Amino acid sequence: MRVEGEKPLGFFSSKGMNTLVAAVLLIAITLVIAVIVSTAISGLAKTGSAEVQTRAASFVNCSSSDIDVTQVYLDTGPMNVSRVAVRNNGQQRETIISAAMFNKTGFTAAPLTTFPVSLARGDVTNLLFNITGNVTCASFSQVVVTTECTFETFAQAPKNC
């Protein structure tokens, strides 16, 4: 039973929480939020920094990259195979990841070469395509060769035509 004018025991008065307890709780909550935010920002900064380093390294590695499609040969005889001669003119080893031969209507010849193809500096390789029913001398449009860093398009008339 409470006597008139007597204060209740504990942290709460009839008007609410004690001011000292409220201040301590406010500071504690603020510190917890600050720790959470700083941890999140630190993680984002580390992730962003790693991504920038990876992209910068990739750019430096690709700056000396250069390939050239030197010639395209169409054998429309019984073999129906096309050879695409590719030279690595760059200062480093290249990896050809894909190549496509197109005719004028957009159809592609099936590649017979298995990708990826590693190409040392200064070397030449031949990529093979099955041109049966798709690419002829009259319908040839272009060849696109893609490496990890660059691509080269050959849109001239092929040899043997």
Give the pLDDT of the chain (161 residues) as one tens digit per residue. Answer: 555 655 555 555 556 667 888 888 889 999 989 888 888 887 777 776 666 555 555 554 788 899 999 999 998 888 899 999 999 999 999 999 999 999 999 999 999 999 999 999 999 999 999 999 889 999 999 999 999 999 999 999 999 88
Contact 60, 98 (CB under 8 A): no
Residue 122 has what pLDDT? 95
Radius of gyration, alpha carbons of the chain:
35
Residue 50 has what pLDDT? 61
Q: Count CB neighbours of 53 within 10 A.
A: 10
Contact 11, 21 (CB under 8 A): yes
Q: Quick one: tokens of 71?
A: 């010639």
* Three-state helix/strand/coil letters over 102-131: EECCCCEEEECCCCCEEECCCCEEEEEEEC
Number of Cα atoms under 13 Å in the Cβ half of residue 157? 5
Contacts of 132 (CB under 8 A, 6+ apart): 80
Residue 19 has what pLDDT? 80
Residues 1-21 have pLDDT tens digits of: 555 655 555 555 556 667 888
CB under 8 A, 24+ apart: contacts of 150-153: 150/62, 150/65, 150/66, 150/67, 152/67, 152/68, 152/69, 152/86, 153/69
